[in-house]
Structure formats: C-alpha cells, structure tokens
Amino acid sequence: MKVPFDGTSCPVSGAQNGKRAIVAAAVALFVTFAHADESVVKDPHHGPYNQEIASVGSWKVDKGYVSLDPADTTALMDRMQNPGVQNTWLYAPEGLKRWFSVIRYEDTGHVKDDETIDPAAILEQLKKGNELSNEERRKRGWAELHLIGWQIEPHYESDTKRLSWATLNESNGEKVVNYTTKVLSRTGVATITLVTDPASLDQSVADLKAQLDGFAFNANQTYSEFRDGDKIAEYGLTGLIVGGAAAAAVKTGAWKWVLGIIAAGWKLIAAAAVALLASVKSLFKRRSA
C-alpha cells in the first residue's frame, strides 16, 4: 500500500526512522509540492546494507545511515529542483541530519596522480568557469553564484587515492560551501559531493571521511591494479578539479548532466543549510505492505 505524502512537517521517532521514512528538510523556495499524495522515494536502503555503485564498487551503509538507488536519487534531486542528476547514488545519515552526499562513477580512464597541484592557478580557472555557469543561471532565471575562494584547498591523499577540496561561494547574500571528493580507480573516478550547512562543514567532512572508509572498488578495479593497455584519461588531478571530466562530457554529449550539477549546485547546498534552521519536512515515505 502506498503511504500518501501529506506535505506537512512530520517528526519521526527513532524506530520510525529505521523502518518507515527518510526525512529531508526543505523550504518552499526549493520544493514545490505539485502532487501532495506522491511518494518521492520508493525504496530507501537502511543500514546495515551493502550499496553497489555502478557495478565497479560498493559502499557499506552502517546502522544509522541510508542510501538510495539512482532512480530514487534522481526523484529526490528533481524534487529539490536539482535537475539532470542521473546514475547517481545518495548516501547520508538517517533523516539527512546535518549532511548528505551523492556519488557518481565515471569511466574516464586511469587518471595519473603524479602532478603537483597549484591551488591559486586552479582557482582562477574555476572562476572563469563560474562566470560561464552564471550565464546559464540567468537564462533559467536563477540567482547567480559567485565563487569567493577556497574553503579547503585541493589536496591529494596518495594512500587512499582521494582528491578533495571545498569552495566558498555566495548567492543572494548567502554563503554556501561545496565540498567534493574524487576517488581514483583503475579505470575511472568516483565523485562524491557533500551537501551540508557551512557551519557544520568540519564535523560533516569528518563524518563523511569515516563513512568513506566503507567504500571500496571491486577486485581488479582498484587503482594499484592498473595494467598496460588500460585506457588513460586525457587529464590529471588538476583536470579533475577544473573540469577535465566536464570537457570530455561535452565531447560525448553528456554535457547536460554536468551543466545541471554546476547550475543547480548552490540550490542543493542552500536547501540543506536552510533546512537545518527550519522545521523538518517529510519529502518522501517508504512504500509499505
């Protein structure tokens, strides 16, 4: 039986959290309840659970956390007015408390990690790209997003093969932070985008890093298992940050997904930040028998 969505605030007990619902916060600016009886998410996976990622890896979902398959992730992102998010998995604490993340895998080829990262030069490139994305925002009637600088400078961990950074942005007088981690594999890159209140960034990043210890590529897909003859990416670590993958997507016709993420990213983060200060809304409920 489908559990109807009533569009109102829905406090959920600890037991209900684990069995019935994922609770996400939003405000009317970001969410339009066109069909109040529509269930947005149909099959959330509550930990303990092993979430497969793009047939190349898996992410261990601990108790107290939840994951969504691509169809449910797309539905939730659409409801939050973040269109074009496809082939992406959501991972978050139960109730989306304080933060949530989305992960996507791209078969970019093997990215070499032997270059030196220049944060200042990369920031200039990102600012140029930011102005291009603002042109698209204006066409869509969305508020512009302005890149202020690094919240966390890009850094690479050779032992975990994780490349991470965070940018500080501003839109409509509100500051938002966009934190990204890319994990390199033998044949591609997993991108994890963290959505959180800027005030909770340090705590959220620490929590995400701990959960990422439960993410692993399958046998024969780890970075160290690269073999001669494997596809090599056309860019390195810097390219991953400034948009090497995005440039490749334009060539292959996948630019709409990239543009959707760039153009809508601030709304994703702002919605989560405002939500932590506002009353909690139930965006979706699980189908029950």
Task: State yes or no: pLDDT of 28 exceeds 50.
Answer: no
Cβ atoms within 10 Å of 121's Cβ, excluding its own: 11
Domain that holds residue 186: 105-273
Model pLDDT for residues 75-102, shown as the tens digit of each residue: 888 877 676 788 999 999 998 888 999 9
* Shared domain check, 113 and 89: no
Residues 112 and 167 in one domain: yes
Q: 254 and 239, same structural domain?
A: yes
**Do residues 25 and 125 both lie within one domain?**
no
Q: Domain count of the chain? A: 2
* 32-64 pLDDT tens trace: 222 222 468 899 999 999 999 999 999 999 999
**List of residues 6+ apart from 143 with CB closer than 8 A:** 137, 171, 172, 266
Hey, is 270 helix, strand or coil? helix
| 69 vs 133: CA distance, rounded Å | 28
Mean pLDDT of 141-147: 82
Mark whether 112 and 224 lie in a shared domain.
Answer: yes
Is residue 25 in some structural domain?
yes
Q: Which of 122-126, 178-182, 254-258, 285-289 has the lowest mean pLDDT?
A: 285-289
Q: Which pLDDT value is given to residue 48?
A: 97
Q: What is the DSSP letter of 1?
A: -
Residues 119 and 255 in one domain: yes
48 & 152 share domain: no
Give a yes or no: residue 7 inside a domain: no
* Residue 207 belongs to some domain of the structure: yes
One domain, residues 140 and 27: no
Say yes or no: 18 and 45 in one domain: yes
Question: Is the residue at 5 inside a domain?
Answer: no
260 contacts: CB under 8 Å, gap ≥ 6: 82, 83, 84, 85
